[in-house]
A = this chain, B = another copy of it.
Amino acid sequence: MRASLLGMYLVQAVAFGAKRLAQRRGLALRSTAYDALTKELREVARLEEVSGILSYDEQCFMSEGSAASRAAQKEALAGVIHEKRTSARMAEVIDAARGLKLDDARENANVRDAIEGFDVESRKSKDLAEREARLESECFVAWKKAREASDYPAYAPILQDMFALKREVAATTRPDVCAAGEPYDGALDAFERGMTASRLDAIFAKTREGLEPLLKAVLAKKRDAPDVDALPPALAFDHPGWKGSVEKQAELSKKVAADLGFDFTKGRFDVSTHPFTGGACPTDVRITTRYSDGNWLEGFAGTVHEVGHALYEQGRAGDAVGDGLPVSKALSMGTHESQSLLWERMVLQSKAFWEYAAPLFHEAFPHTKEASPEDFYRAINRVQPGLIRVEADELSYPFHVFLRYDVERALFAGELDVATIPQQWNAYMKERLDVDVPDDASGVLQDIHWSFGAVGYFPSYTLGAIMAAQIFAAAEDALPDLSDQIRRGEFAPLREWLRTEIHEVGSTYASPDDLLRAVTGDGIDPAPFLDYLTAKYGELYGL
């Protein structure tokens, strides 16, 4: 087809000048090779979207007795997707696209990522893809059970299988990455393009260096002046005003999600054990949170966090160059997390936000009328090292990530016995955060990630926090009125700026570093993150 079209243009060329011929030949190459490629990519994308609905259903709706049949269904679908991704036809259109240079940067990104994805995927056998899908499903069910019973030993063997399989996947699909550094780099690369353990060591070392004295100073202050961050009684989790508040919390969270800009006509908002953002595509984005009677903060902050993810997803490019194609996808997990954390930390945890939100709480929960916006601000920014990563404050959160990073890197390298993880876990929590872990349910079993195969994912949380601080600083430069807008509950300007600068841009750039350079002038750099924390907590704790 491509050859014959090209022939036609060559024949016509007799009537045209040489330059015109060259243009037309380029156009013909582009329109045939590129169009053939995107047609195949879109078909795969639709099937991946189906897989997204299946996963959401599994976590939000499916009954436990359906787990075995669901595993078989996911295996079959994963098999088909793998077949399509690596089919002879796909190989043909990929090979035809190799070396293709187009005028449009976004079209070029489609080609670049399609080839990269194909090369990674085609190294994975159908058998390996199916084993992976099945183990992820079974491991998730096992984790849910083990967590309920706080029974880590029941879970350890399948967790070991998971790491062994992920090592196999990394070595098979990213041999160069693994060979250049260490096997774990292959796992990292799946979530954070081009990131390596050695580079992470450097970024995390600088972050830790800045954080340790700050956290130490805050904790010392808390010891010396225990009332420094005392909650007003109305905001204490055990205030009777929060009894039976789950339904109203859900209502309020939905209202705020809508105000921030979550489009309910193109998504859902449900409840699940571990809050997450899922769904199929930009027109079907689904988020979850969880509520409890006492902790009024968890469900609300969780909502804002997931809305941050969802805005990225709903904002992905839906034009002809983007729809169903790689360039519309989120750039990396860290970039995704930068969006959720920007809304959670730079917005929700700002003083300005509570000028808008405190009156909403006053209305929904009349007992909070005695709490001022400043009280809410202080309540939501208390430094209080604890057991649970997703509940952690900004200062101690990175330490949860450092722990998981150490564990998964060592497990991956085969340098750690899966049976000893709880011991290592609990020792680290004691040493770094002075926290005693009472049981594995609140320790090593708390996170869903490893159970569904997300090994190498945790570092992205702290990379996201670092990037969020960088991006928000750029937004403040671009929107001088930003703080007042937030105060008035006007989130559209920030959201639209992010849409233009980040969401629609998707994977146009080749790495988070490139994106950040375009948006902020610098690559990934912990300095703005550390500056922000130092200024904020310095003021809050009078350091």
Question: Which residues of chain A have a CB within 8 Å of any CB of chain B?
Answer: 43, 46-47, 49-50, 53-54, 57, 61-66, 68-70, 72-73, 75-77, 79-80, 84, 263-268, 280-284, 324
Contacts and interface: CB of A to CB of B under 8 A. Distances in A.
A350 B102 CA distance: 73
B77 A47 contact: yes
Contacts of A50: 50, 54, 73, 76-77
A417 B63 CA distance: 46
Given A65-B267, A69-B280, A80-B84, 9 more contacts: A49-B69, A50-B76, A50-B77, A61-B61, A63-B264, A65-B266, A66-B267, A70-B284, A72-B324
Contacts of A49: 69, 73
B266 A43 contact: no
Given A49-B69, A66-B280, A283-B68, A76 B43 contact: yes
A42 B68 CA distance: 14
A208 B277 CA distance: 55
12 contacts: A43-B76, A43-B79, A46-B76, A47-B80, A50-B54, A50-B76, A53-B53, A61-B268, A62-B284, A63-B284, A68-B283, A80-B84
Contacts of A266: 63, 65-66
Nearest to A81: B80
B265 A63 contact: yes
A66 to B, nearest CB: 4
A264 B68 CA distance: 15
B63 A47 contact: no
Q: Which of A46, A65, A66, A84 has the most CB of B within 10 A?
A: A66
A63 B285 CA distance: 10
A271 to B, nearest CB: 13
Nearest to A263: B65
Contacts of A77: 46-47, 50
Given A53-B53, A53-B54, A54-B53, A265 B65 contact: yes
Contacts of A264: 63
Contact of A75 (B46, B64, B263): B46
B268 A69 contact: no
Nearest to A57: B53
The 6 tightest CB contacts between A and B, nearest first, are: A46-B76, A66-B284, A65-B266, A65-B265, A69-B283, A46-B73
A53 B77 CA distance: 13
Residue of A50, A54, A68, A281 with highest tally of chain B CB at under 10 A: A50
Given A69-B281, A284-B70, A265 B76 contact: no
Nearest to A75: B46
B265 A64 contact: yes
A149 B184 CA distance: 58
Nearest to A266: B65
A73 B48 CA distance: 9
A526 B42 CA distance: 52
Nearest to A72: B46
Nearest to A64: B265
Contacts of A267: 63, 65-66
Nearest to A43: B76
A412 to B, nearest CB: 31
A12 B68 CA distance: 40
A254 B265 CA distance: 30
Nearest to A270: B61
A72 B54 CA distance: 16
